């Protein structure tokens, strides 16, 4: 694949903009400016190919898989109504190449958010048919009690649903802290379930999706690429 196509595939703008980046000597390979957009990178070296744009190093990735520790006050939409978008926390190349959220979190929910431009991956983790457990920590307004926990485990009927929805796990971690695991990804699901059980969510944080937990070293607002081990953990879900 030639350098111009590589830059285009990684989200550095239109083909013309990518050619201009190269012509303006803003692209380097192994530290030296590369001024020929037709420079060929052979397919056997492509998967480890690194290049610099304006001094920042990028590795070629056929597909992008990321984890973001979502802060409060960010919407998962590209076109947010009232807050900033989570896409403001990423380099512009990532939304440009089609990276999207793998399911949505409410603007006030924090924690584990996956993003990708791999449609099959997004579908696998958002399809209602593929029941991937998602673990949330909810801080509640009122103290938790056994009746609420049983209601959540046995199923609560949410407005607009024909069947009760049961949590696959509901544990009390503290007087006001509930660990809730759910298989679905319905609109405001955790908040609505907790309300239906007779309490109210004051704060919500997602800790885990399937076998993959929010990395401890990822501060709020930070993102990183998912590596092969992370993807294997997720795919085991």
Catalytic hit among 24, 54, 106, 174: 106
The mark string for 186-215 relative to ligand URA (x by CB under 6 A, - otherwise) is --xxxx------------x-----------
Name the residue nearer to ligand URA (CB basis): 8 or 212.
212
Q: How far is the CB of 177 from ligand URA (least distance, A)?
A: 16
Among residues 148, 133, 155, 125, the alpha carbon closest in space to that of 201 is found at: 148
Q: Which of 96, 106, 118, 179 binds ligand URA (CB under 6 A)?
A: 106
Name the residue nearer to ligand URA (CB basis): 7 or 135.
135
Burial of 146 per CB tally in 10 Å (0-12, 13-18, 19+): exposed
- 105: contact with ligand URA by CB under 6 A: yes
26 neighbors 53 (Cβ within 8 angstroms): yes
Q: Which stretch binds ligand URA (CB under 6 A): 9-17, 116-124, 161-169, 182-190?
A: 182-190
151 neighbors 179 (Cβ within 8 angstroms): no
The mark string for 13-52 relative to ligand URA (x by CB under 6 A, - otherwise) is ----------------------------------------
Among residues 183, 76, 197, the alpha carbon closest in space to that of 130 is found at: 183
Size of the site for ligand URA (CB under 6 A): 8
Q: How far is the CB of 124 from ligand URA (least distance, A)?
A: 18
Q: Is the Cα torsion angle 152, 154, 158, 161 positive or negative in sign?
A: positive
Q: Which stretch binds ligand URA (CB under 6 A): 16-24, 93-101, 104-112, 169-177?
A: 104-112
- 10: contact with ligand URA by CB under 6 A: no
Q: Kindly give, in sequence order, each residue whose CB lies less than 8 Å from that of residue 216, ignoring residues fewer than 6 positions away.
A: none
Among residues 139, 135, 136, 134, the alpha carbon closest in space to that of 177 is found at: 139
Is 217 catalytic? The answer is: no
Q: Which two tokens stand for residue 120?
A: 């099959």
Name the residue nearer to ligand URA (CB basis): 191 or 208.
191
Name the residue nearer to ligand URA (CB basis): 183 or 231.
183
- Residue list 108-127, contact with ligand URA (CB under 6 A): 109
Distance of CA 51 to the CA centre of its chain: 25
How far is residue 158 from each of residues 45, 68, 106, 192, measured CA to CA in Å? Answer: 52, 29, 18, 7
Residues designated catalytic: 106
Report the interface residues with ligand URA, using CB under 6 A. Answer: 105-106, 109, 188-191, 204
């Amino acid at each position: 694949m030639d350098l111009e196509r590589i830059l285009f595939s990684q989200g550095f703008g239109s083909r013309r903009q990518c050619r201009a980046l190269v012509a303006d000597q803003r692209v380097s390979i192994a530290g030296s400016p590369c001024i020929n957009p037709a420079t060929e990178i052979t397919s056997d070296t492509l998967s480890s190919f690194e290049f610099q744009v304006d001094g920042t190093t990028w590795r070629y990735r056929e597909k992008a898989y990321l984890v973001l520790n979502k802060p409060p006050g960010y919407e998962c939409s590209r076109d947010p109504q009232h807050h900033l978008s989570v896409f403001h926390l990423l380099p512009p190349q990532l939304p440009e190449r089609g990276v999207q959220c793998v399911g949505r979190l409410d603007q006030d929910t924090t924690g584990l958010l996956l993003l990708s431009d791999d449609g099959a991956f997004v579908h696998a983790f958002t399809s209602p048919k593929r029941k991937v457990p998602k673990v949330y920590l909810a801080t509640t307004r009122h103290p938790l009690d056994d009746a609420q926990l049983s209601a959540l485990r046995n199923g609560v009927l949410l407005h607009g649903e024909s069947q009760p929805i049961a949590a696959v796990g509901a544990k009390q971690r503290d007087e006001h802290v509930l660990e809730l695991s759910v298989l679905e990804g319905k609109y405001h699901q955790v908040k609505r379930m907790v309300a239906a059980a007779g309490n109210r969510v004051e704060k919500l944080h997602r800790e885990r999706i399937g076998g993959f937990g929010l990395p401890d070293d990822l501060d709020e607002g930070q993102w990183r690429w998912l590596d092969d081990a992370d993807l294997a953990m997720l795919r085991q879900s």
